[in-house]
Amino acid sequence: MQVVGHLINGKQSHNQNDPTQDVFNPATGAVTKQVSLASKETVEEAIAAADAAFPEWRNTPPMKRARVMFRFKALLEENAAKICALLTDEHGKVLDDAMGELTRGIEVVEFACGAPQMLKGEHSKNVGPAIDSWSEFQALGVVAGITPFNFPAMVPMWMFPMALVCGNTFVLKPSERDPSAPMFIGELLKQAGLPDGVFNIVNGDKVAVDTILEDKRVQAVSFVGSTPIAEYIYSKGTANGKRVQALGGAKNHAIIMPDADMDNAVNALMGAAYGSCGERCMAISVVVCVGDEAADELVAKLKPQVASLKIGNGTDTSNEMGPVITKMAQERIKGLITQGAEQGANLVVDGRDLVVEGHENGYFVGGTLFDNVTQDMVVYQEEIFGPVLCVVRVDTMQEAMKMIDDHEFGNGTCLFTRDGEAARYFSDNIKVGMVGINVPLPVPVAYHSFGGWKRSLFGDLSAHGPDAIRFYTRRKTVTQRWPSSGVREGKQFAFPS
């Protein structure tokens, strides 16, 4: 059986002594490949390759680095069908959803093509007599990315295109659940002309992650995944002197105001809650309805649509939802649905018993809808990361906003309304990093930065956009005097001003 290895110094490799783990097709439950789990030595080999490649890459003109990205973008587009097929085979998402993911990743590559402009720095002439001063953005060195299963193509591309154009070299540790798309993308980078060693991939688990966090040569770590691991990466990475950005989990609320365009809201919520089986950090998993009238209308409209979601293998693009990632995830989600019902939520649509004909061993969960959910319930508090939407009823917008502010996560949120004043108040005051007004998945475009608040992000800088330049560079300010003839300063013991 094929073993997905690593990409180190431009070559794919698998160390026979390293353990392996099964890779599944979640739509069928079949083992399709093995993935190599890098040992400490294997990860150190990748870090050494990145470290060796740094001096030359750092001094490559920014425009030449950007040109690699131009070629890479073209190769991603030419190979889109193959990448999407790999995503669907190992993640399970429907093919057109995979294309959406890839497109969002390509957009960051396009943004990275403009890095020479963003790296120009700041210059001030005559800050003192014959003294000029400038601030430049210098590359950090070896940086690492550790990424989750749910966007195996897009999330790595939130990181490495910007890191590379800034002059860094990179070690990526993708999710061991769906490693093939990142490996193929790594090959495309090589074809685009990236020198060997500048971009490396190690597949693996905690052993690989801990090696990255402990190695002194790694200057910065970007992480995206669940909150407990994000917090671990942030504390361990910063304790070891690294710059860290760690994006964590989410529980994204939408508020439905009584004046909302309900049909528009229902359509938007169907995609936002059930698209990709709810396995998105920006999925809407709670709807807070202001007033019983709005709640009754919403639930009545959602119920038949949730019950009739078309679910099956992601290779069939007429399906709206594929399977969840693993058997364990399927069982966990079903267990949470049971717990929600036991705690008194009204289970309006129950997806626990779904069987997809011809795919009896696939990890499917049907669309699920709860009404009358309250803040003390586990289905309200936890990130379910499955196709489960919880409706909560409140009397006022203030009550809805307080609920959102009190939640541990603050990734995304959305308000459905026709009232501009309410919308403005909401976006100004809500304690969440990414806000939508009648836009259910307010995922910032590549030239803005992506990141949540509260326990959805550990660190100060978000992913891609302008924050990426700051994260992947270190500022250096140079003050320089070239005395002109005849201008000589005497001794001066006071602080220069």
Active site residues: 281
Smallest separation (angstroms) from ligand NAD to the CB of 12? 19
Q: Which is nearer to ligand NAD, 290 or 446 (CB)?
A: 446
Alpha carbons 222 and 369: distance in angstroms, whole number? 34
- Comparing CB distances to ligand NAD, the nearer of 250 and 430 is 250
Report which residue's Cβ sits closest to ligand NAD. Answer: 225
Q: Nearest to residue 77, comparing CAs of 53, 44, 110?
A: 110
Q: Report how far residue 293's alpha carbon sits from residue 455's, in angstroms, rounded to the nearest whole number.
A: 33
Question: Is 67 or 332 the residue whose CB approaches ligand NAD more closely?
Answer: 332
Q: How far is the CB of 201 from ligand NAD (least distance, A)?
A: 12
Query: In terms of C-beta density within 10 A (0-12 exposed, 13-18 middle, 19 or more buried), how is residue 483 classed?
Result: exposed
Position 230: which residue type?
A: A
Nearest to 441, CA basis, from 246, 281, 321, 324: 281
- In the complex, the smallest distance separating the C-beta of residue 309 from ligand NAD, rounded to whole angstroms, is 21
Q: How many CB atoms lie within 10 A of CB 390?
A: 25
What gap in Å lies between CA 365 and CA 311, rounded to an integer?
9
Q: Which C-beta is closer to ligand NAD: that of 137 or that of 458?
A: 458
Question: CB-wise, 146 or 188, nearer to ligand NAD?
Answer: 146
What is the bridge-based pairing of β-strands 20-25 and 30-36?
antiparallel
Q: Which is nearer to ligand NAD, 155 or 266 (CB)?
A: 155
**Smallest separation (angstroms) from ligand NAD to the CB of 99:** 18
Closer to ligand NAD by CB, 151 or 471: give it: 151
Query: Which tokens is 383 given?
Result: 């990130």
Q: Please report where in the chains the tokens 């120009």 appear, as a residue.
A: 120
Distance CA 417, CA 258 (A): 8
Look at residues 107, 97, 47, 55 and name the one whose alpha carbon lies nearest to residue 77: 107
Q: Which is nearer to ligand NAD, 249 or 436 (CB)?
A: 249
Q: Answer whether 80's CB lies under 8 Å from 99's CB.
A: yes
As measured in angstroms, the least distance from the Cβ of 102 to ligand NAD is: 15
AA letter at 393: R
User: Which spans of this chain sit near ligand NAD (rule: CB under 6 A)?
Assistant: 146-151, 155, 173, 175-176, 205-206, 209, 224-226, 229, 247-250, 281, 383, 385, 411, 452, 456
Q: Which of 476, 485, 467 is nearest to 163 (CA)?
A: 467
In the bound state with ligand NAD, the residue whose beta carbon lies nearer, of 167 and 386, is 386
State the minimum distance, in angstroms, from the CB of residue 421 to ligand NAD: 30
**Shortest reach from residue 281's CB to ligand NAD, in Å:** 3
Residue 171's closest CA among 132, 220, 135, 133? 220
